[in-house]
A and B are shown apart, each in its own frame.
Chain A
Amino acid sequence: MNIYNPEYAIEVNHLTKEFGEFTAVNDISFNVKKGEIFGFLGANGAGKTTVIRMLIGLLRATKGDILINGIDIRYHVEEVKKTIGYMSQKFSLYNDLTAIENMRFFGGIYGLSGKEIRERSDELLDQFKLQPLRKKIVGSLPIGWKQKLAFCTTMIHQPSIIFLDEPTSGVDPIIRRQFWEIIYELSNKLITILVTTHNMDEAEYCHYTSMMVKGKIIALDSPLELKKQYNAQNMNEVFLQLATT
């Protein structure tokens, strides 16, 4: 039995996921505070995406508890899904629809009214500086803009937690910077962000990070503390030390 701590947006206790014989996620626990930018780090194949899929209710955990805003995902997955936003590793808006059609569609799915969708999408397109792309077919856009649009669409229903699975892979430094500016803005509004990345410069921007290796979390602290602990100049060194041991 877990007693809900209102300070936390995400609580994960002894989470395990097995695929047959293979243990993809091995007894991990961590908490994410509300409004925190949580860097979910790890090498390829460490099990990060599997964890995220369990956190957003796409996969069922083999063992362990997940509380999202104090709600147990096992029993109330639909409730949880309403309050979270997810941007997957692979770009996955509809390529044959325009930017605004994608936003309208996903807004509609979350049950927003036509008026809400109009207001919200205008606000977001302004915030992300995407107004000029409004009526462009998504498939024709360059990858950086696509990613921005995907992030923007994730926000349509004003989620309180956002999961970003490698949002900046394949994105140029200018757009990357814009991404992080927006992430900070959201964090200031007490929106929780869980972000995975391979870019250790980006890891430095996070409030708190976890390092996953082979299905286990082997380090969990702020970037500053981690660097101290491993006597490293930057997060890149921390990562190399941890991931290769």
Chain B
Amino acid sequence: MKKNYKILKGLIVKEFTHILRDWRTLILLLGMPGVLVLLFGYVMNIEIEGADVGIIDNARDTDSQYIINKLENSGFFEVVKYLKSEDDVDAEFKQGTMHMVFVFEKDFGYKLRHENESHIQLITDGSKLLNVSSLVNYATAIIKEYQFSLSYQKVDYLITPEIRMFYNPNLDGRYMSLPGLMAFIIMIVASLIASLSIAKEKELGTMELLLSTPVNRYFVMFAKIVPYSITCFVNVLTIIWLSKYVFEIPIVGNLSLLLGTSVLFILTSLALGLLISSWANSQLTALMLALTGLMLPSALLSGMTFPINSLPLFLQWCSHLIPAKWFMIINRNTLLQGATLEDLRLEVLMLGVMVVVFFGLSIIRFRPRVNN
């Protein structure tokens, strides 16, 4: 027993030495998640106070003037320039002087009052994708508000905001969030480092030497998991710290529940990494498998980029198999809504089942067999 403990300790010390000696990779492992979160976080939380906008007012009546005033008073928009025609928009967008232009049609007020319907065109710079959708939402809300205030006086006036996106005409509602990003980062980091570390030993032949010794193969696997779980847990702490203190996302829920489920999710990801390495005999193969087999599905089917209920039914079913999806639900709900373990029974159970299944599979597949 004591002997086994010593053998295991030797294996774990060796893994730690590998990690610490390769300080470049270590910096990458610990630093990258932070950098990614900062990048994504800032892109997502762009302050829309005082967005620079342009106006093309073909009507020049009281209604158009009223809406322009409302836009300016809202604090979200700052009118920097009145343009003559739509032909100027492209140049302005390219110079970056404004991100949005409001076009009032000719006889805007007249049509509104006599035909009960008139149009405002909202031209936006689609290349500034993430903040543009919120700009459009704010602008639409302001226009609707004005419409309501008119309807109060008389019957249904209808102002239809027509939204035109320059450079990216098919803007879909984008759905990104820090919890999703956290699930994604942990999944990728954990599965990559676990699979690469074993694939490396296979590639260099040290695995063959290791397996020619009487060492228990489960010990070899366990020794890989310990240091990498710790690395990933540090990543979780970094991300939570950044979300709380840099992005000021309040942590409503129970922090220990979040950390506990994070460990579960880290183990799931590491188990997937081990499973990948049982197919891959080289680091390159492991990398390719992890990228195509885990990164893409985790990004597309976890709900991080697209809301799951907007996916085709078949893909919705597939998404149940993506561990990141379950962890994302858990950490979004605990972080932002204060959900308890009781509320998240299904999600935690799913992760638990996945840990057992993936570890089981990788243990079955991790044999002291070597390729020719």
Question: CB distance B21 to A92 under 8 Å?
Answer: no
A154: nearest chain-B partner, CB-CB: B209
CB distance from B107 to the nearest CB of A (A): 76
Which of A56, A59, A82, A84 sits near B369, CB closer than 8 Å?
A59
A94 and B14 in contact, given A59-B369, A78-B214 (Cβ under 8 angstroms): yes
Residue-wise interface mask of B (109-149) relative to A, using a CB-CB cutoff of 8 A (1 in contact, 0 not): 00000000000000000000000000000000000000000
CB contact under 8 A between A92 and B206, given known A58-B211, A58-B368, A111-B3? yes
Instruction: Tell which of B3, B17, B208, B214 has the most Cβ of chain A within 10 Å.
Output: B214
Q: With a CB–CB cut-off of 8 A, which chain A residues contact B369?
A: 58-59
Q: Is A144 an interface residue (CB 8 A)?
A: no
B309 within 8 Å of A by Cβ?
no
CB-CB contacts of B3-19 with A at 8 A, as 1s and 0s?
10011011101100110
Contact in complex: A105, B10 (CB < 8 Å): yes
| Binary CB contact string for chain B from 191 to 225 against chain A (1 if under 8 A, 0 otherwise) | 00000000000001110111111110000000000
Q: With A101-B17, A105-B14 as given contacts, are A86 and B209 in contact (CB-CB < 8 Å)? A: yes
Task: Please tell me if the beta carbons of A56 and B204 are within 8 angstroms of each other in the complex.
Answer: no
Q: A78-B214, A111-B3 are in contact. Are A59 and B370 (CB under 8 A)?
A: yes
Which residues of chain B are within 8 angstroms of A96 by Cβ–Cβ distance? 17-18, 21-22
Given contacts A59-B369, A105-B10, contact A92 B205 (CB under 8 A): yes
User: Number of B residues whose C-beta is below 8 Å from A?
Assistant: 27
Q: Is A109 an interface residue (CB 8 A)?
A: yes
A96's nearest neighbour on chain B, judged by CB, is B21
Q: Give the residue name and chain of the A residue nearest to B210 (CB).
A: A109
CB < 8 Å neighbour of B212 from A24, A86, A104, A105 = A86
Interface status of B372 (Cβ within 8 A of chain A): yes
Closest chain A CB from B227 CB (angstroms): 14
Query: Which residues of B are found within 8 Å of A95, using beta-carbon distances?
Result: 204
Q: A residues within 8 A CB of B208?
A: 58, 88, 92
Q: Name the contact of B14 in the complex, choosing from A79, A86, A97 (C-beta under 8 A).
A: A97
Minimal Cβ-Cβ distance residue in B for A117: B10
Tell which of A81, A106, A108 touches B6, judged by Cβ atoms closer than 8 Å.
A108
- The minimal Cβ–Cβ distance linking A112 to chain B, given in whole angstroms, is 9
Interface string of A49-87 (1 = CB under 8 A from B): 010010011110000000000000000001101101010
Task: Return chain B residues, CB-CB under 8 Å to A106.
Answer: 209, 213
Please indicate the chain A residues that have their CB under 8 angstroms from the CB of B204 in the complex.
Answer: 90, 92, 95
B-contact bits for A87-131, CB 8 A (1 contact / 0 none) = 010111111110001001110111100000000000000000000
Let me know if B21 and A58 touch, CB within 8 A: no
In the assembled complex, the CB of A223 is this many whole angstroms from the nearest CB of chain B, namely: 28
A109 to B21, alpha carbons, bound, how many Å? 21
Please indicate the chain A residues that have their CB under 8 angstroms from the CB of B214 in the complex: 78-79, 81-82, 109-111
Q: Hey, which chain B residues are within 8 Å of A88, CB to CB?
A: 205, 208-209, 212
Task: Return chain B residues, CB-CB under 8 Å to A58.
Answer: 208, 211-212, 368-370
A93-B370 contact given A58-B211, A81-B214, A109-B10, CB 8 Å threshold:
no
Complex formed: what's the CA distance from A106 to B18 in Å? 15
On chain A, the residues within 8 Å of B11 by CB distance are 108-109
- Please measure, in the bound complex, the distance between the C-alpha atom of A79 and the C-alpha atom of B214, giving whole angstroms: 8
With A and B bound together, what is the CA distance between A109 and B213 in angstroms?
Answer: 7
CA distance A58 to B22 in the complex (A): 30
**In the assembly, what is the distance between CA of A94 and CA of B22, in Å?**
13
Question: Quick one: which of A136-161 are within 8 Å of B by CB?
Answer: none
- A78's nearest neighbour on chain B, judged by CB, is B214
Cα–Cα distance between A56 and B210 once the two chains are bound (Å): 12
Chain A's nearest CB lies how many Å from the CB of B65? 72
Give Cα A111 to B208, complex, Å.
Answer: 18
When C-beta atoms are compared, the residue in chain A nearest to B21 turns out to be A96
In the bound complex, residues from chain B placing their C-beta under 8 Å from that of A101 are 14, 17
How far does the Cβ of A58 sit from chain B's closest Cβ, in whole Å? 6
The answer on a CB contact under 8 Å between B205 and A90 is: yes
Provide the B321-361 mask, 1 if CB < 8 A to any CB of A, else 0: 00000000000000000000000000000000000000000
Q: Which residue of B lies closest to A94 (CB)?
A: B206
A97:B213 contact, CB within 8 angstroms: no
Is the CB–CB distance between B370 and A108 below 8 Å?
A: no
Q: What is the CB-to-nearest-CB distance from A156 to chain B, in angstroms, rounded to a whole number? A: 10
| Cβ B205 vs Cβ A81 within 8 A | no
Q: Which residue of chain A lies nearest to B10 when distances are taken between CB atoms in the complex?
A: A108
Which residue of the partner chain A has the closest CB to B211? A58
Chain B residues closer than 8 Å to A109, beta-carbon distance: 7, 10-11, 210, 213-215
Q: How far is the CA of A56 from the CA of B215 in the complex (A)?
A: 13
Q: How far is the CA of A97 from the CA of B16 in the complex (A)?
A: 11
Nearest-neighbour CB distance to chain A for B212, whole angstroms, equals: 4
Whether A91 and B17, one on each chain, are in contact in the complex, defined by CB atoms closer than 8 angstroms, is: no
Partner of B18, one of A50, A79, A94: A94
A229 to B217, CA, bound (A): 47
Contact of A19 among B3, B9, B17, B372 (CB under 8 A): B372
In A205-220, the 8 Å CB interface with B consists of none
CB <8 Å contact, B206 and A57: no
Query: What would 16 A/B residue contacts be, using CB atoms closer than 8 Å?
Result: A24-B372, A50-B372, A59-B370, A81-B212, A81-B214, A86-B209, A92-B206, A92-B209, A94-B18, A94-B206, A96-B21, A97-B17, A101-B17, A104-B10, A109-B213, A111-B6
Extra contacts besides A58-B208, A78-B214, A86-B209 (15): CB < 8 Å: A50-B372, A57-B212, A58-B212, A88-B208, A92-B204, A92-B206, A92-B208, A94-B14, A96-B21, A101-B17, A104-B10, A106-B213, A108-B7, A109-B215, A111-B3
